[in-house]
Amino acid sequence: MGEGDSDLSKRDYYEVLGVDRKATQQALKAAYRKLAIKYHPDKNPGDKQAEERFKEAAEAYSVLIDPQKRTQYDRFGHAGVSGAGGPGGGFGGDPFADFSDILGDLFGFGDIFGGGRSGRRTRARRGADLRYDFRISFEDAVFGATTKIKIPRQETCGSCNGSGAEPGTGPVACAACQGQGQQRYQQGFFTISRTCPQCQGSGQIIKNPCRRCRGSGRVQREKVLEIKIPPGVDQGSKLRIVGEGEAGPNKGPSGDLYVVLSVEEHPFFRRDQNDLHCELPVSFVQAALGTELMVPTLEGTEKMRLPEGTQPGTVFRLRGRGVMSPRGHGRGDQFVKIKITFPKRLSREQRELLLQLDTLEKSSRDNEGFFGKVKEVFG
């Protein structure tokens, strides 16, 4: 058979990738990425069928992703792009030139088809974020405070300035990968690149490590930081301090510090969001006759009128005596719950007065009526 007969045996490129004929370049890349992950030889070692499907998808993608080749293919089919499916064929150039952009990040190969990319160098990476648990008083949580904390962390080595090499020396090119950071090997139709295990992809080796940091570029230190606690914070509130985490490897930027607050309990007040709650003990005489009380607040005492005949559990509100909103939306209130107390022991005079009071109240009681109703209900 002639070359034309061979072209007739090929599957339609759109069918190979599983897209319609109006597919965008983004859709083509997504479809090819999915197939490449599924059929890549590294994921299917020794599977000839998977290798053929991988080659078929690569060929289809190399044609359809190129606008000129795609136009020719749409007009004339496989005959219009004869020879374009392999390296160096068709309209010139490497049809796999941009495949590393699609697969490099997924497999960590970098220059997966041997085209276009230079070796990787040591990359600066962001340092780790740190968490510091800090306990504060109830009052500091309400009103805010400025305090100091001591943070243990990794900082850039001042001796080698983060390079990891002894001062006066520097990294040298890795002999295993000739400074490329990758090692290539042939696998069937493709040239595959892998991260160099000798230099871990940096392309460099430190022959004379810094004695202070032992080649890591970072040292463990403690730093004292002054932090400002805003008013209104609560249990579990987090303060983010930008750039005060660990220094990044290879002179990378530092991470952030997160200070997580826990708040001590107060012996008198209980907090509910921005409101404060407390119980105020008063005698039964004060509740019965009414009086003027001095109520404790977080800012001193405040006068409050207790009306005559106040019942146990009555709640009074002191407006604006609560906690400042951390978002600046005003201030909460303080709620005072009345708790009536009774003497455990009575003096002779107290007992006589209570007996007189009991005698006076008998005329106004309706106990017989009450017990009569109970008898009617329960028989």
Render pLDDT for 311-361 as a digit per residue (tens, 0 to 9): 889 899 999 899 988 877 788 999 999 998 887 787 787 777 777 776 766
Q: Which two tokens stand for residue 347?
A: 């003096």
CB-based burial label for 205 (10 Å; 0-12, 13-18, 19+): middle
For residue 19, name the pLDDT band (cuts at 50, 70, 90): very high
Helix locations, the chain, DSSP H: 3-8, 13-17, 25-39, 48-64, 67-76, 99-107, 138-143, 284-289, 348-362, 367-378
| Whether the predicted pLDDT of 4 surpasses 80 | no
Q: What is the pLDDT of residue 375?
A: 56
3-state secondary structure at position 59: helix
3-state SS, residue 362:
helix
How does DSSP classify residue 122? Answer: P
Q: In 3D, which of 65, 1, 62 has the Cα closest to residue 28? A: 65
pLDDT band at 87 (very low <50, low <70, confident <90, very high): very low
Between strands 270-272 and 172-173, the pairing is unpaired
Which one has a higher pLDDT value, 241 or 197?
241
- Pairing verdict, β 257-263 and 130-136: parallel
Q: What is the DSSP letter of 250?
A: G
d(CA 102, CA 113): 11
What is the model's pLDDT at position 2?
Answer: 41
**Residue 94 reports pLDDT greater than 70:** no
Tell me the three-class secondary structure of 274-307, residue by residue.
CEEEEEEEEEHHHHHHCEEEEEEECCEEEEEEEC
Cα(104)–Cα(98) distance, integer angstroms = 10
More confidently predicted of 369 and 87: 369
Rounded to 5°, the CA angle 256-261-258 comes to 5
Q: Domains (ranges, CATH) in the chain?
A: 3-107 (1.10.287.110), 270-342 (2.60.260.20)
Give yes or no for residue 198 having a pLDDT over 90: no
Q: Is 28 helix (H, G, I), strand (E, B) or coil?
A: helix
Q: What is the dihedral of CA 191, 196, 202, 208, to 10 degrees?
A: -150
Q: Mean pLDDT, the chain, as a whole number? A: 79
Give the separation between CA 80 and CA 266, rounded to whole angstroms: 83
Tell me the whole-structure pTM to 2 decimals: 0.54
**How far is Cα 105 from Cα 280, in angstroms, rounded to an integer?**
66
> What's the rounded Cα separation, in Å, for the pair 368 and 21?
96
Is 35's pLDDT higher than 70? yes
Closest CA to 314 of 347, 284, 282, 338: 338
Helix, strand, or coil here: 264? coil
Q: What is the pLDDT of residues 266-319, one digit of tens each?
A: 999 999 998 999 998 988 888 888 888 899 898 888 889 998 888 889 899 999
Token pair recorded at residue 286? 């004060």
Within 10 A of 85 (CB to CB), how many other CB atoms are there?
Answer: 21
